[in-house]
Amino acid sequence: MKIRMTAITTAALCLGLAAAAVAQDNPVAKREQMMKQVGASVGALGAIAKGEKPYDAEAVKAALTTISTDMKVFPDNFPAGSEVNSAAAPAIWDNMDDFKAKSMKLASDADTLLASMPADQAGVQQAVQTLGANCGTCHQTYRLKR
């Protein structure tokens, strides 16, 4: 488990770089990288929540900031017709306003948490629950396994 978390953190760093380098003009790659970063950030919080890693205010702040930053621009990477070769559901383009609202909701939940930083393991557990509820709500309607 330790190894896995280190791997996730390392992966998050690499992805951050890769996202910047590779995904410039490919919206599918760009949004999938963002989702991977968001996933890795929740993973970093999850490790603290589960007690696999000690509480670390800097790590918590970094994770929440990544989620907030990514989710504010995430919906900008869905030009018409870009569901091809991706897990994005066509329903996104029928309900773009709702899709954007769901993305912003996750960003603002992260902002709220940043404003009153979770101060210990219990706080991080709470944060993971709050953030996590957003993932399923959006994936239920807007992501398809292909």
Partner 1 sequence: MASTWSKIAAVGVAVIGLGAVTAWALTKPEPHPESFWANAGTPDLAHGEQLFWAGGCASCHAATGAEGDALKVMSGGRALPSPFGTFHIPNISPDPNVGIGGWTLAQFGNAMTRGVGPNGEHLYPSFPYGSYVRMSPKDIGDLFAYLKTLPASSNVARPHELGFPFNIRMAVGGWKLLYFSEAPRVELASADEKIRRGQYLVEGPGHCGECHTPRNALGGFESGKWLAGGPNPEGEGKVPGITPSGPIGSWSEADIVNYLETGFTPEYDSAGGAMVEVQKNMAHLPKSDLEAIAAYLKAVPAL
Amino acid at 10: T
Does 87 engage in binding with ligand HEC (CB under 6 A)? Answer: yes
Strand partners of residue 88: 143
Binding mask 29-68 for ligand HEC (x = CB under 6 A): --xx--xx-xx--x--------------------------
Give the shortest CB-5-to-partner 1 separation in angstroms.
10
Asked if 55 contacts 94 with a C-beta cutoff of 8 angstroms, the reply is: no
Does 101 engage in binding with partner 1 (CB under 8 A)? Answer: no
| Total residue count of the chain as it appears in this document | 146
Terminal C-alpha separation, the chain: 29
Token pair for 100: 């954007």
Does 16 engage in binding with partner 1 (CB under 8 A)? Answer: no
Options 99, 113, 118, 127; binder of ligand HEC; rule CB under 6 A: 99
Spatial separation of the C-alpha atoms in residues 48 and 128, rounded to whole Å? 10
Pick the closest to residue 29 from 71, 88, 72 (CA basis): 88
Pick the closest to residue 44 from 55, 30, 33 (CA basis): 55
User: What number of chain residues touch ligand HEC (CB under 6 A)?
Assistant: 23
Residues near partner 1 (CB under 8 A): 4, 8, 39-40, 42-43, 46, 87, 89-90, 132, 135-137, 139-140, 143-146
Provide the binding-site residues for ligand HEC, judged by CB under 6 A: 28, 31-32, 35-36, 38-39, 42, 86-88, 99, 102-103, 106, 131, 134-135, 138-139, 142-143, 145
